[in-house]
Amino acid sequence: RGSARRDCRRCSAPLTAPWTLSRRSPHPAPTPHQHPRQRTPMRLTIAALGVAAVAGLRRPVATRLAMSASAGGKPFLILGSKSETRQAIVADMGFDFRVETADIDEKAIGDRAGDVRELVLEIGKAKAAALLPRLAEAGGEPAGTVLLTGDQVVVQGDSVLEKPRDLDEARRFIKRYVPGAPCGTVGSCVLTDLETGKQVSGVDSTEIHFKEIPDDIIDILLEEGMVLNCAGGLMCVSTLLFKAPCC
C-alpha cells in the first residue's frame, strides 16, 4: 500500500489518493475520485436501448451512444419527424441529428377501427419505407447511422384522435378531455440501421386524467396554434396546462 501521483484515465485529473494492489488485479485501483461535472442522462431511455439493439450492440454501449456525438460533423441519428417536441427529446438525449420528413398521407394508412397499436406501428414503418430509398440515393451517411421514425395518436373511448384539421376541430378535441373520461396516447418508435437494414420497433401507451380545462386556457392554446401539430390537439407539455388546475 502506498501513495503516488497518478492521472485519472477518465478525466486526466491528477490522483494523489492511496491506491492498492490486489491478487485479483495487478493494476493500481485509486480510491473514488470526483470527476468534473458532466451532463448525463438520469436514466437509460427506451429509445437509447433501441438504438443499441439496431446496431447489434450490447446494452452497456447504449449509454455511450446516447451521450456521444458522431464523428465527422454528420449526424448519427436521422429523425424522420418534423415534430418540435420529438426534436427536443432527441436533442435532450444528447444525439447529434438531422431531420428528414417522409411527407406521406398518414390518414390513408392503417385501420382506424382496428388495433391502435398496430396502426401507429404501421404508420411509423411507412415513414421509414418512404425515407429509406431517398437516403440510399443520396448516400454519404456514416457507418452506424440510424433512422428514427414513429407515430402517435390519442385514444378516447372508441375514438382515435389524430392531428386536428383546423382550430375548430382542435377545440372539439380539447373539450372532450373532462373529469371521469380519461384519454390515452399510443405511440410507436421504429429504428432502422441504414447500413444493415435491420429494424426494431416498439409501442408504448399512457393514460391521462384531466380536471376541467378552463375556456380561457383553451383559447390561449388555440391562439398559439401548436395544438394543430399534436395528435388529438393534446399538448401535455404546455406550461399552460400545468399552471392551470386541469391535469
- In this structure, the chain runs to a length of 247
Q: Is 151 a catalytic residue?
A: yes
Check if the beta carbon of residue 76 is closer than 8 Å to that of residue 123: no
Cα–Cα distance between 214 and 184 in angstroms, integer? 20
Q: What are phi and psi of 241, to 5 degrees?
A: -70, -30
Q: How far is CA 200 from CA 42, 45, 141, 231, in A?
A: 24, 15, 20, 23
Helix axes 46-54, 59-67, angle to 10 degrees: 110
Q: Name the active-site residue from 92, 96, 105, 151.
A: 151
> Do residues 231 and 152 lie in contact, with contact meaning Cβ atoms separated by under 8 Å?
yes
Would you please indicate which residues are annotated as catalytic (active-site) residues?
151
